C-alpha cells in the first residue's frame, strides 16, 4: 500500500510520469523501493516537513500519514527513507530495508497496485522495474499504449491482459 500511496501523491502533484523501481538483493540482504516522478516537486522546507505525520498539503484532513508510515516501516527493518525533490523538478522517494528482517512488511499485491495505477490514470506514463538477484521484469505503459493504438489503457478488454502480463512477469521473478 505504501507504493500505491506514494504514487498517488506523485499524481496529486501533477506528475505525468511515474517510475517505480524495486530491487531485491538477497546476497546483500537488502530491498530498495524507489518512486520517481516529474510532478511539481517540493522545496527543502516541505521535504523536511513531509515526514511529520501532522503535516499535510491536503485541505480535507489535518494529517498526512503516507510518508511517515513508510519511513517507520523502513526503520523497523534496519532501513531508511530519503526524499529528494526540488520545485518544478519532481520528487524521488527511496526506501531501503533489510530484506530478511522479521519486521519487514511484505510487498503485498504488486499486480493489483500496478493495475490500479495504470487503469485509474491511463494518461500517465508509468514504468515499473523489478530486479531480484539478477533477474528483471519491466513494464512501460508507453510501449503498451503504442501497441494498443487508439484503445485506451482503461478499456474493459485491456484490464485482464494487463493483469496477466504483470502476473506472468512477477511469477518469473518468483514473486
**What kind of architecture, by CATH, is found in domain 2-172?**
2-Layer Sandwich (3.30)
pLDDT at 61: 44
Q: How far is CA 64 from CA 51, 58, 106, in A?
A: 8, 8, 22
Q: 116-169 pLDDT, tens per residue?
A: 999 999 999 999 999 998 899 999 999 999 999 999 999 999 999 999 999 999
Q: Provide mean pLDDT across the span 94-123.
A: 96
Q: 18-56 pLDDT, tens per residue?
A: 999 999 999 999 999 999 999 999 998 888 888 876 655
15 CB-contact burial (10 Å; exposed 0-12 / middle 13-18 / buried 19+): buried
* pTM for this entry: 0.91
Q: Would you place residue 88 in the very low, low, confident or very high pLDDT band (cuts 50, 70, 90)? A: very high
Q: Where are the domains of the chain?
A: 2-172
Helices in the chain by DSSP H: which ranges?
2-12, 44-49, 66-76, 110-120, 141-148, 158-172
pLDDT of 58 strictly over 60: no
Q: Provide mean pLDDT across the span 69-98.
A: 96
pLDDT at 86: 93
Amino acid at each position: 500500500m505504501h507504493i500505491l500511496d506514494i504514487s498517488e501523491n506523485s499524481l496529486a502533484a501533477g506528475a505525468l510520469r511515474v517510475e517505480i523501481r524495486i530491487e531485491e538483493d538477497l546476497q546483500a540482504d537488502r530491498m530498495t523501493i524507489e518512486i520517481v516522478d516529474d510532478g511539481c516537486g517540493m522545496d527543502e522546507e516541505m521535504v523536511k516537513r513531509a515526514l511529520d505525520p501532522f503535516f499535510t498539503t491536503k485541505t480535507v484532513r489535518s494529517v498526512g500519514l503516507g510518508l511517515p508510515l513508510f519511513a517507520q516501516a523502513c526503520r523497523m527493518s534496519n532501513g531508511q527513507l530519503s526524499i529528494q525533490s526540488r520545485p518544478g523538478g519532481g520528487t524521488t522517494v527511496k526506501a531501503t530495508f533489510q530484506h530478511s528482517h522479521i519486521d519487514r512488511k511484505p510487498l503485498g499485491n504488486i499486480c493489483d497496485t500496478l493495475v490500479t495505477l495504470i487503469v485509474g490514470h491511463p494518461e500517465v506514463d508509468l514504468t515499473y522495474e523489478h530486479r531480484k538477484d539478477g533477474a528483471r521484469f519491466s513494464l512501460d505503459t508507453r510501449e503498451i499504449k503504442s501497441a494498443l493504438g487508439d484503445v485506451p489503457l482503461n478499456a474493459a478488454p485491456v484490464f485482464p491482459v494487463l493483469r496477466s502480463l504483470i502476473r506472468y512477469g512477477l511469477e518469473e521473478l518468483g514473486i
